[in-house]
């Protein structure tokens, strides 16, 4: 089995969305140590936090939360959910939607959500592109895409989450002035994303100087950021503003 650079086994085939077309998820749905029975229990436990699957357009996402937050943030591919849980606990006034099809990651975040009783979190356990397609235009204040799977081999790059088409879809759901926050420890993926965002009329890169893309002040970090540091890699932190 080959490696994609993120330490995960290479997938055996493209994931098909409910609509039957090829989606953006190429990773594993389930890792070691999660048996069928546990996956079933997780499925049940997701209950009150899950956004129901389907292809129907969703209502304004503020209505997904009991407190109708003034702002809604979306995190795509939250991994173990450390970043999302920390932010959600620190900002109870903001609604957080987390997407992660990897069942073990979802189980981890669900543990944190239950332990901290985070009523301001909603979860989507499938390919994020399916959710993005259902969200209303200009309904999200901020999107996080942190350390997405790098797919470093040339022939695999088309599997990267960032593409012109997908940036267009993300721009569509962001409010004018909203932000797309992207982090990676793979230089080539930073350049890839920058090139696509800069040629999009929808986004402006907010960095004024080096300090603005070398780190984000006060951010809690993520598991893959810690892994990059352990392995001696720095990262790029890119913020793109949705142009009106």
Ligand X SMILES: C[S@@+](CC[C@H](N)C(=O)[O-])C[C@H]1O[C@@H](n2cnc3c(N)ncnc32)[C@H](O)[C@@H]1O
Which residues sit at the interface with ligand X, rule CB under 6 A?
Answer: 6, 24-25, 27, 76-79, 99-102, 105, 127-129, 146-149, 161, 222-225
In the complex with ligand X, the residue whose CB is nearer, 209 or 232, is 232
In the complex with ligand X, the residue whose CB is nearer, 28 or 241, is 28
Residue 184 sits at φ, ψ, to 5 deg, of: -155, 155
**Residue count (the chain):** 244
State the nearest-atom distance from the C-beta of 212 to ligand X, in Å: 20
The pairs formed by 205-214 with CB atoms below 8 angstroms and a separation of 24 or more are 205/238, 205/239, 205/240, 206/179, 206/239, 206/240, 206/241, 207/238, 207/239, 212/239, 213/237, 213/238, 213/239
Of the candidates 139, 136, 134, 192, the residue with the CA atom closest to the CA atom of residue 167: 192
In the complex with ligand X, the residue whose CB is nearer, 195 or 226, is 226
The tokens of 124 are what? 């989507």
CA 72 to CA 212: how far, in whole Å?
A: 24
The tokens of 26 are what? 């190429």
Looking up tokens 């793109």 gives 240
CA dihedral 88, 90, 93, 94 (to 10 degrees): -40
State the nearest-atom distance from the C-beta of 39 to ligand X, in Å: 15
DSSP state of 61: G
Q: Which of 149, 185, 188, 217 is catalytic?
A: 149
In the complex with ligand X, the residue whose CB is nearer, 134 or 223, is 223
CA 159 to CA 15: how far, in whole Å?
A: 11
CA 195 to CA 111: how far, in whole Å?
A: 38
- Do the beta carbons of residue 149 and residue 160 sit within 8 Å? yes
Active site residue 149: yes
In the complex with ligand X, the residue whose CB is nearer, 91 or 223, is 223
In the complex with ligand X, the residue whose CB is nearer, 132 or 194, is 132
Which residues are catalytic, by number? 149
């Amino acid at each position: 089995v080959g490696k994609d650079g993120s330490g995960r086994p290479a997938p055996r085939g493209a994931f098909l969305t409910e609509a039957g077309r090829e989606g953006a998820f190429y990773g594993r749905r389930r890792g070691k140590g999660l048996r069928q029975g546990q996956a079933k229990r997780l499925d049940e436990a997701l209950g009150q936090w899950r956004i129901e699957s389907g292809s129907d357009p969703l209502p304004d996402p503020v209505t997904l939360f009991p407190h109708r937050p003034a702002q809604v943030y979306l995190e795509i591919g939250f991994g173990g959910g450390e970043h999302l849980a920390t932010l959600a606990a620190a900002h109870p006034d903001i609604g957080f939607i987390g997407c992660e099809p990897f069942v073990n990651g979802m189980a981890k975040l669900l543990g944190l959500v239950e332990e901290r009783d985070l009523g301001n979190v909603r979860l989507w356990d499938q390919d994020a592109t399916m959710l993005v397609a259902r969200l209303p235009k200009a309904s999200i204040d901020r999107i996080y895409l942190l350390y997405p799977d790098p797919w470093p081999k040339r022939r695999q790059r088309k599997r990267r989450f960032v593409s012109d088409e997908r940036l267009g879809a993300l721009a569509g759901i962001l409010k004018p002035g909203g932000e797309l926050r992207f982090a990676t420890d793979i230089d080539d993926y930073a350049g890839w994303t920058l090139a696509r965002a800069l040629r999009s009329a929808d986004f402006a890169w907010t960095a004024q100087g080096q300090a603005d893309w070398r780190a984000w002040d006060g951010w809690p970090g993520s598991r893959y950021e810690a892994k990059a540091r352990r392995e001696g890699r720095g990262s790029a932190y890119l913020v793109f503003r949705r142009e009106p």
